[in-house]
Amino acid sequence: MTLHILRSLSSHQRNRGSDGAPKKCEEGGVSRSYLSSQSIKRNARVLFETTEQRKSIRSKVFVPLLCDLVTAELTRKNPADTVNKVAVEELCERFVSTLTAGEKETKKPAAKNAKGKESAEVSPESGTATPETSDGGDFDGGNSNGGNDNDPKSTAVWISEIEINALAGVIATRIADLSRFTGRGSRSVPAKEITDFQAAVEQIFSESGMSFSTQSLAVSAFGRMFANQSKINVEAAVSVGNATTTHLADETLDEYITEDNLGETNAAAYMGVKLKTSGTYYSTMTIDREQLRRSWSRYTEADRVDVADFIDALILALPTGGSNSADAPPVPHIVIAEQQSCPTAYTFETPVYAANGAADGTGGGGFSGPSLTALRSEFDAARDFSPKAFGDYVFTVPRRTDLAAFAAPDGAVDISAEKKSRDDLVEFVTNWILEPATEEAA
């Protein structure tokens, strides 16, 4: 099922690039503003995760939290025993590193030849020459860059609170067996030990109910990849596209000044500028129901409220950058939910021009009406191309003027009877998601 959303935003800087300006792209021969899919997904997750049972954590400094939970669980199981916190920390660092960057077998220092140059070392496993490593056998704590938390390439771990507690419980239960992987310090790590520990990590995830699936709806929807443990990855069930303007989008310069109340009269403490943009944005979200059944380990009628709230979060999600200096977003012009046998979005490759405006998009009656008309044209064209590819659908159009622009343009069949409220649309999608699994899915 695909959700199509068309909404307008007044002057804003909700999603900016590394240059500090609103994100832009070239499409249909004109420059357009867009909101990245990552920023939309992030806000959907924040809107959805409002209860303890739903919360998840994404962090590059995951090790201390895991250590605290394992230590607490060990103390709970054996209050009279003293926990070896150094060993627990070493084990947790190695656990996280195995998920993300992975471990490397440490080589001995390369022997120098007669000319004082380092020669290649022969790997006993492969029998081939390998370059000298320089990692000294240290584990990088889960970062793919050697543990530098300030490096943008550092790897963050994304996990729900339910999952991290389950992992800590399994690690604590198996601490006696896992202790054989600690106490190595800076000594070399044999290849077999690395393989054995990777197998132990896979087993811990399996016992925690986290192999290829998760109890977290957000994680199962957007997917999770551990760079070095493909067997416990979670495939995404929801794809989210960028929200891109249907038309040429310009930037405006917003100058601002803060005053110095203790300085000279009318003195400015700081002067700055922001680039802002505005426009009518089109975005899509496609839900793969069968993949969601595989990725989400709960998936029962009892979880109806969670599913409905997640769909609602997808509809409302917008990046919040600069929101304190911008209008709150208005309701969308239209939201369509339609069953599809093949994921299909509608295109605005030909840029929309403002109603009754000039060819450059200036003047006239805004972009929403022409965008709705263009959307309906795409809606009809898709069904003309492949009628069997589309099933049931509903849509919500809050404004009567928007309904007139979408429902029956150019004498097309009036579909206004399919108009529903936002709550009706969410219920329609939720019912579809929770339908009994097909034989093939089962």
Q: What are the distances in angstroms from CA 202 to CA 59, 192, 223, 295, 398?
A: 21, 15, 18, 17, 49
* Residue percentage of the chain with pLDDT more than 70: 79
SS3 30: strand
SS3 74: helix
Alpha helices in 157-300 (DSSP H): 161-173, 175-178, 191-207, 217-222, 289-295
Question: How confident is the prediction for the chain on average, in pLDDT?
Answer: 80
Q: Give the number of other Cβ atoms within 10 Å of residue 238's Cβ.
A: 24
435 pLDDT higher than 80? yes
Structure tokens at 46: 């924040």
Contact assessment for residue 74 and residue 82, using Cβ atoms and an 8 Å cutoff: no
pTM listed for this prediction:
0.80
429 pLDDT higher than 90? yes
Lowest mean pLDDT among 27-41, 187-201, 235-249, 405-419: 405-419
Write out pLDDT tens, residues 189-222. 677 777 888 888 888 888 877 777 888 999 999 9
Q: Give the number of other Cβ atoms within 10 Å of residue 101's Cβ.
A: 21
DSSP per-residue letters across 240-278: E--EEESS----EEEEEEEE-TTSSTT-EEEEEEEEEEE
Boundaries of every domain in the chain: 2-49+236-248+279-433, 59-111+121-215
SS3 300: coil
* Range of 34-48, 56-70, 98-112, 263-277 with top mean pLDDT: 34-48
Q: Which residue has the tokens 């249909």?
A: 28
Q: What are the distances in angstroms from CA 154 to CA 65, 141, 144, 206?
A: 17, 10, 6, 26
Mean pLDDT of 222-246: 90
DSSP per-residue letters across 76-126: HH-TTSPP-HHHHHHHHHHHHHHHTT---PPPPPPPB-TTSPBPPEEPTTT
* Element holding 392 (H helix, E strand): strand 390-396
Write out pLDDT tens, residues 111-137. 444 444 443 333 323 333 323 222 222
Q: Give the number of other Cβ atoms within 10 Å of residue 227's Cβ.
A: 13
